[in-house]
Structure 1
Amino acid sequence: MTLDAFSGLASRASRFFAMGMVALVLAGCSGMNLFGPPKVKAEPIVPAAALYQKALDDMDRQYFQTAITTLEKLDRQHPRDPLTEKSKLMQVFANYRMGKFDESILAADRYVALYPGGKDVPYVLYLKGNSYYAQIKDITRDQQLSRDAIDTYTLIINNYPSSEYAADAKEKLLVAYDNLAGKEMSVGRYYLGNGQHTAAINRFRTVVEQWQTSTHIEEALYRLTEAYLLLGLTNEAKTAAAVLGHNYPSSSWYQQAFALLGKQGLAPEMNSGSWMAAHRT
């Protein structure tokens, strides 16, 4: 074999080798898409009615999270279907039943934003209010949840007074009021015990002026009697005791206020110029 022929053979061998390597590389990449990310398999479209019925069946079995997943699929696949409104309503309910109160509140806000005139708005607001109410902590904690519950229940009572949810909203409203009043009393007693009499009076006054239906009103009037005496404001102290005695004559708090004044030779007496005179019923 001549040198030229050998060189030609070597050249062809090199090309075959290179082509073989390319083939191996391509084979190794056969599972990869070299021209972009793999395509996501399209979600099969299921009729809205079938999805809604499946969600209802899951709720009957108390599979609430599964139901929510199905309802979200309905919203995604059929955003303009009439069943979407019911779907969003059921998401509020399902989250509430699971105790996912923050999610229920968000779902309620979405529903009201999308369907402000919907016939189920009172019910959605009721579930939202209950979601706040269920999270209300003891009076030593921040009471923002109580305020949020009050705002929501008040909205139901004012805008939907004839709805079936208004009566229960009124009852729960009293509990939320009581929590706020209890918080004010707790802080007021702390101030009073630390000699911050004016700060304490401001807290007790808030209870008398804003939370008159709370169970703390009697003690608030007694504490006002006590705090005003400590400041030497005897007319205000006598008025606080007089209002307490007029509204709650058999209260043990009135008996204590009467005795406290008696130790200083004083007795309950209404001062018409006092801010408390307006709270005599």
Structure 2
Amino acid sequence: MKFRYDLILCLSVVLLAGCQSTSTDPATMFPTASEAQLFKDGQNAMLDGKYDQSVQYFETLEARYPFGQYTEQAHLDMIYSYYKNDDTSSALAAADEYIHLYPREKNVDYAYYMRGMMEYDQNHGSIERYFGMDFAERDLASVRQAFSDFNRLLHYFPNSQYAPDTRQRMIYIRNMLARHELKIANYYFDHQAYVAAANRANDIVKHYQASRSVPDALNVMVKSYRALNLDAQAESALKVLKANYPGYK
């Protein structure tokens, strides 16, 4: 019985030590390091791909020198370090905090861009890429948020260095969202919910005009209106389809 008591006591000490190590106050880490040294060490760790270490340096710098010379850049680097360390929630929080603290700084476009990237990547995990999952069949809440973040970036900073990549990603997202809506429209049609199918397809034509799903959406409208004996509406949708997509079959 004494052996078991000693074992339990030993395990308790180990667990307590573990709890203490994970709750370390960033302000107390690296006690002899100056602001410049923390920033340099953080950037070196980041460049070496040691993102867990770079986060520690940047967190310490921000806690100890909240109004320091390197604080703003450290916060930007911390966003990236969290992102590369697969800590999405912390990266999103850091991006939001930067936008709140530095709304007029020249680098705030980066925070918007990274925020969009993180929301975008939540629907583009490596497992899905390798196994070929159709993203249009997933819950696209994070993709819609990414589109919103990218749209804000282009609205506020149309000449940002991140604008070209952002526009390309928005085109991809727009096609994905349109394809998602088209799947729903086809589902409604297959289940003879023709009014819902026509309305959903009409939304695609209205809101995703540049997407590749528009001709298929027009076709769903034609079929749905015919099923509802709405010949005038069916003919109107067919004319639009033939005029804009003459080779559609």
- TM-score using structure 1 length: 0.72
* One-letter amino acid of the counterpart of residue 220, structure 2: R
CA-based RMSD of the aligned residues comes to: 1.7
Task: Count residues with an aligned counterpart.
Answer: 213
Q: Cα distance, 1:155 vs. partner? A: 0.8
SS at match of 1:246: helix
Is structure 2 residue 71 aligned with structure 1 residue 74?
A: no
Does 1 or 2 have the higher relative contact order (CA < 8 Å, sep 6+)? 2
Bigger Cα displacement from structure 2, 68-77 vs 140-149: 140-149
**How far off its partner does 1:77 sit?**
1.1
- The whole-number CA distance in structure 2 between the counterparts of 1:209 and 1:195 is 23
CA distance in structure 2 between the partners assigned to 1:197 and 1:143 by the alignment: 24
Task: Name 1:56's counterpart in structure 2.
Answer: 43
- TM-score, normalization by structure 2: 0.81
Rounded to whole Å, the distance in 1 between the matches of 2:150 and 2:71 is 26
Q: Specify the structure having the higher radius of gyration (Cα).
A: 1
Preserved contact between residue 45 and residue 77 of structure 1 (Cα < 8 Å) = no
Counterpart mapping for 1:1-281 below 5 A? 43=28, 44-136=31-123, 138-252=135-249
Moved more, 216-225 or 130-139: 130-139
CA drift of 1:139 comes to: 1.3
One-letter amino acid of the structure 2 residue matched with residue 215 of structure 1: R
How much does 1:98 deviate? Answer: 2.6
Gaps spanning 5+ residues in structure 2: where? 1-23, 125-134
Q: CA deviation at 1:45?
A: 4.6
Give the structure with the larger helix fraction.
2
Question: Any unmatched runs of 5+ in structure 1?
Answer: 1-39, 253-281
Match of 1:26 in 2: none
- 2:47 and 2:143 map into 1 onto residues whose CA distance is 31
Task: Tell me the alpha carbon deviations over residues 134-178 of structure 1, each in whole angstroms, 9 at most, x when there is no partner.
Answer: 122611222111211111111111111111111211111111111
